Amino acid sequence: MAAGGSGAAAAAAAHQRLVQAVRASGVIVQVEPQEFEKLVAQTEKALVVTAKGGVFGSHFKYLVSYKGLAFYTKSRTAIHLPGDAQTIDAAKIWVPGS
């Protein structure tokens, strides 16, 4: 679900804050998909960046900010996101060492 109108501007601003936070701290926490689902479920109106990729098989990547940290997961299948979650479909999510 892509945001539209002023929602898109808010989502872009939130994403930019996430990018700046990651650059400043360099902290990205990699978690298992089940833990990621739990974390997003605890976050009201979470902004989740998603990307689909894969060379030898498809996989899904997810990134969300929670309490000042960036959490990342990768899964072979799409994970469930709450209905109030905002998503940004990215062409690619690159995480060092992933």
Cα 73 from Cα 93, distance rounded (Å): 10
Cα 92 from Cα 61, distance rounded (Å): 8
More confident residue, 10 or 45: 45
pLDDT tens digits for range 40-90:
999 999 999 999 987 887 899 999 998 888 999 999 999 999 999 999 999
3 pLDDT band, cuts 50/70/90, is very low
Query: Is residue 18 scored above 80 in pLDDT?
Result: no
Query: Which structure tokens are listed for 12?
Result: 């872009």
Query: Domain segments of the chain: what residues?
Result: 6-89
Q: What architecture is the 6-89 domain classified under in CATH? A: 2-Layer Sandwich (3.30)
